[in-house]
Each structure stands twice: as C-alpha cells, then as structure tokens.
A and B are shown apart, each in its own frame.
Chain A
Amino acid sequence: MIHLAESSSGIEMKKVLNFITILLVLLIGLVCWTTVHAKEVELIGAGATFPYPLYSKMFDVYAEKNGVKVNYQAIGSGGGIRQLINKTVDFGGSDAIVSEKEMTEASAPILHIPTCAGAVVVTYNLTGNPKLRFTPDIIADLFLGKITKWDDPRISAINPGAKLPNMNITVVHRSDGSGTTFIFSNYLSKVSHEWNEKVGSGTSLNWPVGLGGKGNPGVAGLVQQTPGSVGYVELIYALGNKMPYGMVKNAKGNFIEATISSTSLAANIELPDDMRVSLTNTNAADGYPISGFTWILVYKEQNYGEKPEQKAREVVNLLWWMTHEGQKYAEPLDYAPLSKRAVEKAEKLIKAITYAGKPVMK
C-alpha cells in the first residue's frame, strides 16, 4: 500500500514538475520574443484618441519608408500627458493644451507640436433634418438649459426657412473625458460669459443639463434615437455617419459650415511661437469657429532617462515627417491638414529640440 501511494505520488510529482518546466519554457520564450520585438519597436507614444486613425496611417507609412516603427497607444489625452510626465513614452499625444500646473509637474519644458486640426459640430435630431444656423449665444444657452424648446423665437429668428417644432430640447454631451469636450467648452467659455462663470472649460465638465453618452458613438446613438435632441460630435464622426449639423456664426459674423478646409482656415491667424493656442472663435473670416489643433508633446531636452542620441534624432525626424510629407494623409481621412503658418511654427519648434544642449536637427 505504502509502495503504491509512494509511486503514484511520485508520478504526480513528475507530472507537476513537467508542467512547471513547460510553463517556464513558455514564459522564457515569451520574454525573449517580446524583448526581441521591443528592439524592433523604436518609438513609443501614447495619448489622444481623436487623431488615432490618422496617426496609425502615418506611422504605417513611416515604418515602411524609414524602417522606424512607432507604437502609439490611444489612451486619451490625459493619459498621454501623465505618461509623458512619468517619462514612460517618447512622446505624448493631446487634444488639450497642457496646463501650467501640469507643466510644473513635469521636470523639464514640454513642446507642443501641432499635427493636424479637427472641428466639433453641433448635431441634432429634428424631423426632416433641416440645415440650421446657430449663433454662439444660442449654442451656449442650449447647453446651459436656458433654451428649452426648438421653436424658441431666437432660433427661428435666424432660421426663417426652417420648420421648427414645438418640442422639448434634450441636451446630449460626452460622459467620458475627451478632447472634443475640451474644444467645445473652450469655445463656449470664450463666447459666453455665463458659461465661463458657471461651467468653464475642460475635458470633463459639471454639466448643467442633459444626458451623457460614452464616446462619439454614445453621443451619436443618443442623438439619433431621441427626437428633439442636440449634441456635439467631432466633424469626422458626423461626416462618417451622415449626421446633420448646423452652421455656426464665427467671430467675424459669417455663418460657416464645418468642412476640412474651413477648419484649416481657422488657423489662419497670428499664431504664438509655442503653438499652445486654441483655434476656437478665431478672427479668421472663413474659419469654422469650433476648431482645435491636436498636438504631439515632447520634451525640449531629449537627453533624459537613458535615451541615446540616436533615438532623439528619430523622434525629431518623425515629427518633421509628420508635419510635412505626412500631412497629405490627413485630408483623405477627413482631418484638416496644418495651415502654412502652422507648419512654419511647427518647424521652429522641432528645430528647438535639443540633446544635451545641442540642437538635434542640423
């Protein structure tokens, strides 16, 4: 009996040992594989989801042409900024300007390199989907909950042709923090004193009214289902899903339809050297007023951690390519390419990147 028990437990032990050995071998194999692959992946970035389709196209082409792989994780602008501050990525992506407070949290100066521009449109669900016109104060009062009916005299006054029903307005906003909300609320803060006082601008807000939908699809789903609703989504998303959206009166008093070119035109202004500028409510006569850049964030001084100079050069080359040749991939994907002035400013910023105090680009 003892013999039997002993030998069978011996076999069990052997099986267990074999199993563990196989597991170990697999694990070691996996580690080797990932390190081998990690060597191939040269640059790591993380951040905004909005430019992700464009970036993945750009990085694909770039890897093919230059043999440098870029691994970009679309984890959101906030996550991108956090990862850059923690120095776990080579660059971050953001739809929002890094705030002064976050700039002080980072140990070194951060540069904002614009890569493309996007627009946010006001979409709605009304029978017949008429093309509506909005003034800045109407948009602000809609989202403040002060205009509650579609046949409000202020809306009908600037939309004489449209048939507006006596219907309650349901406001739909983003429930997740997003760059889209940042651009939209930044615009409203500029055009409405009350909005600026009560709500302000940010990636997540304390909304006075309305329902929250998760992501562009969530907002779009709620707007398309709820009669009489109004919401905001990215232009790309509205175009892709054939959603109606209104024309918006810009700072020069023109009603502008959101298009790729009117978004690019919004940047046709005097731009500051650091490019930490929002494109909302700009003075461009033909620019769509609810527009914004999306940026790649990098440290001005690339000699940190154990980063070799070679890597710094590759970051700079990538940024140069993205703001020049890479721009041609923007329009087919419904992103607004950088305006000429924006590219000039971006060039200056890229040239300012240093490694151990010396400019990386010659």
Chain B
Amino acid sequence: MLRNDTDDITVELKYPMPLLKDSAAADVLAKIHARVKARWKSGFSESSFRKILYFAGICVFVLLVAIFFSLVIASFPAIRRFGVGFLSQSTWDPVRGEFGALPFVVGTLIVSFLALIFSVFLSLPTSIYLGEYFTRGGTSTFIKSMIELLAGVPSVIYGFCGLFLLTPLVRSLEVELGMAPYGVGILTAALVLSIMIIPFSASIGREVISLVPGDLKEAAFSLGATRFEVIRKVILPYARSGIVAGILLSLGRALGETMAVTMVIGNSNFIPTSIFSPSNSLASVIANEFTEATGRLYLSSLIELGLVLFLVTTLINVLGKIIVRRMGVEV
C-alpha cells in the first residue's frame, strides 16, 4: 500500500498541468489524462503479455516441427537407401552398411509395455492409498515426497542398482529355471523401468482420485456400499480417464529412457525370443553407437532410429489421447 501511495504521488507530480490556472478544469483534465494514461499502460502490458504467451506457445510448436524436420533431413540418406525396409529388416551391421531397426523397435515396445504392466501393480494401489485413504497427515506427506524423490533420482543410478542388485536376482531365477544365466535382459530392464515410471502415474492417479466429488462417495456409502465397493464402483470409474492419462504419460517416459535401460538390457541386436533374452532399445542403440559412428549412411541410419522413436512416441501419445477422450465421454 505504501509503495502504491508514493507511486500515485510521483504520477501526479509528473503531470502537474501548470499552464491551467482554473483549478476545476485542471482537475478534470488531470483526471482524463491519468485515465487515458492508465488505459494505455494497462492495455499495453495486457496485449504485450498476451503476445509473449502466444509467442511461447508458437515456439514450442515450431521447435517440435523443427526437430521432426531436422530428423527427417538428417536421416534422408538412410530413408532413400532402405525405404520402408528399415522397419522390417532385422540386421544391424555397421561393418557392411546394412541397417534394419526391427529388433530395436520390438525391444523398445516389449520392454516399455512390460514395465507399464509391472508399474500399474504398484502405482495404482499407491494412488488409491494416497488419494482416498490417507489424503493428509504425516504418513501421507512422507510417502508423497518419497514418490517425488523417485522421479528425481538420476537414471544412471537406477541403472547401477539394476545392474548390481536386480541382475543377480534375475540370474538366480534363470539358474533355477535352467536358462542361460545372463541376468540382464528384457525382464531386468522392464523391472528397472517400472520403478522409474511409478512417480508419473502415481502422482497423477492420486490427484484425480482425490478430485472425485464427495457427494458421489457419500451417496454410495448411504446406499450401504463398503469402502472397497465405493473404490471399485464409484472412484475408479470416475477417475478412470485421469488414471489412464497418467499411465500413458509414464509410457512416454519409458519409451525414451536410455541410460538405465542400456545398462541392463543386454544390448544384443536380435529379436527377443523370451522375456529373459537380451535385447536392445532404440534409445540405447543411439546412445551406444553415435559417438563412434563414421560414414554418412551409418550416421543417418542412427538418426533415422531417432526419427522412428519420435514417431512411435507421437503415435502412442495420440492413441492415448483418443482413449482418454473416449473414456471421458463414457463417464
């Protein structure tokens, strides 16, 4: 308030209208002047503010389009050489210059979806627990911040934990089952990824579950529903589209995760035959081979892998949006 007052004084001092002797006229003129000035000023900042927002929005769009086109341009030699065969060929041979992305596309999709399935088992109960049972209090805050912390852990640390804690466990399981004791492979990578993506689906799930209107729940309770029935028949159907949206967001993260996956997936360029077999993902091939890639075709094939990853991610996001919208309409 104090600052506003002083500001008023300075405004008046700036426009004292000394030429007019008639104090009433001067007063009216000063008022008009101030009003015009205020309107001009507020109008200016309003419109420029809107322009800034508009510009930022356009920037995001332009960036995305620019990324897409630079990927297309840089991968053009590979596109011209291999055509659609790039997606159906399963040989990746940098020595002979034959490049096919099929094993990596398959590996990426299997690992990501498997991770998604694993993560739902933990993230859905967590979001129900935090969204419905313990919405506030010490325990709830503690768990909430732990989940946020999960998202902040660098992925290389997940990779190390996977390599030194999870891999021996998977290996002993493989020995039990009489399989090759690799330890690393699709299962290990999916398990590590599933933990990494929990924060995304869990925090959005918690948010939408806590937004379910109290009236609905109370109505169900008044009809004699148990808590489990309320969750199953009221809360989950109501929050369904939000929960699915959260899961899809985490899928986007899973598809592009590089470091942790590279460390535990086994990096073997074959189409996997079981969930124990070593595999490879689009992102990890790029990370592994880009630094040493020489030759135009090799480089552009690696960039085309990036383009494929970009398209797969976009496709899944669009599909997800459609699914979420359908679900939203049903509710």
CA distance A253 to B293 in the complex (A): 35
Would A226 and B95 count as touching, CB distance under 8 A?
A: no
Which of A4, A11, A218, A225 contacts B168 (CB under 8 A)? A225
User: What residues of chain B lie closer than 8 Å to A13, measured between beta carbons?
Assistant: 45
The digit string for A195-215, where 1 denotes a CB below 8 A from any CB of B, is 000011111111100111110
Q: Is A168 an interface residue (CB 8 A)?
A: yes
Which of A99, A203, A212 contacts B292 (CB under 8 A)? A203
Q: Is A192 an interface residue (CB 8 A)?
A: no
Would A5 and B268 count as touching, CB distance under 8 A?
A: no
Q: Is A170 an interface residue (CB 8 A)?
A: yes
Give residues in A with beta carbon < 8 Å to B: 2-13, 75-79, 81-82, 99, 101-102, 105, 168, 170, 175-179, 199-207, 210-214, 218, 221-222, 225-228
User: What residues of chain A lie closer than 8 Å to B93, measured between beta carbons?
Assistant: 205-206
- Nearest first, the 9 A-B pairs at minimum CB distance are A177-B292, A212-B267, A76-B291, A175-B267, A206-B93, A7-B7, A78-B292, A200-B95, A6-B38
Contact count A vs B, C-beta below 8 Å: 133
Give residues in B with beta carbon < 8 Å to A: 3-4, 7-8, 11, 34-35, 37-39, 41-42, 45, 91-96, 163-164, 167-168, 171, 180-184, 262-263, 266-269, 278, 280, 284, 287-296
CA distance A77 to B289 in the complex (A): 11
- Contacts A177-B288, A203-B292, A212-B266 supplied; 8 other A-B pairs, CB < 8 Å: A6-B11, A6-B42, A76-B292, A82-B294, A176-B292, A226-B181, A226-B183, A228-B181
Known: A202-B94, A225-B171. A207 touches B292 (CB 8 A): no
**A-B contact list, 10 entries, CB within 8 Å:** A2-B34, A2-B39, A7-B11, A79-B292, A175-B288, A177-B293, A200-B95, A203-B294, A204-B293, A226-B183
Residue of A nearest to B10 (CB): A7
Q: How far is the CB of A236 from chain B (nearest CB, A)?
A: 19
CA distance A221 to B91 in the complex (A): 27
Would A226 and B294 count as touching, CB distance under 8 A?
A: no
Residue of B nearest to A171 (CB): B268
Residue of B nearest to A203 (CB): B292
Would B42 and A9 count as touching, CB distance under 8 A?
A: yes
User: What residues of chain B lie closer than 8 Å to A179, measured between beta carbons?
Assistant: 292
CA distance A178 to B294 in the complex (A): 11
User: What residues of chain B lie closer than 8 Å to A10, measured between beta carbons?
Assistant: 7, 41
CA distance A6 to B280 in the complex (A): 60
Would A206 and B182 count as touching, CB distance under 8 A?
A: no
User: What residues of chain A lie closer than 8 Å to B35, measured between beta carbons?
Assistant: 2
Q: Which of B42, B168, B292, B295 has the most CB of A within 10 A?
A: B292
User: What residues of chain B lie closer than 8 Å to A226, measured between beta carbons?
Assistant: 171, 181-183
User: What residues of chain A lie closer than 8 Å to B292, measured between beta carbons?
Assistant: 76-79, 176-179, 203-204
Would B11 and A211 count as touching, CB distance under 8 A?
A: no
Q: How far is the CB of B59 from chain A (nearest CB, A)?
A: 17
Q: How far is the CB of A288 from chain B (nearest CB, A)?
A: 24
Would B267 and A211 count as touching, CB distance under 8 A?
A: yes
Would B262 and A5 count as touching, CB distance under 8 A?
A: no
Would B263 and A218 count as touching, CB distance under 8 A?
A: yes
User: What residues of chain A lie closer than 8 Å to B287, measured between beta carbons?
Assistant: 176
CA distance A226 to B264 in the complex (A): 13
Would A176 and B291 count as touching, CB distance under 8 A?
A: yes
Q: How far is the CB of A205 from chain B (nearest CB, A)?
A: 6
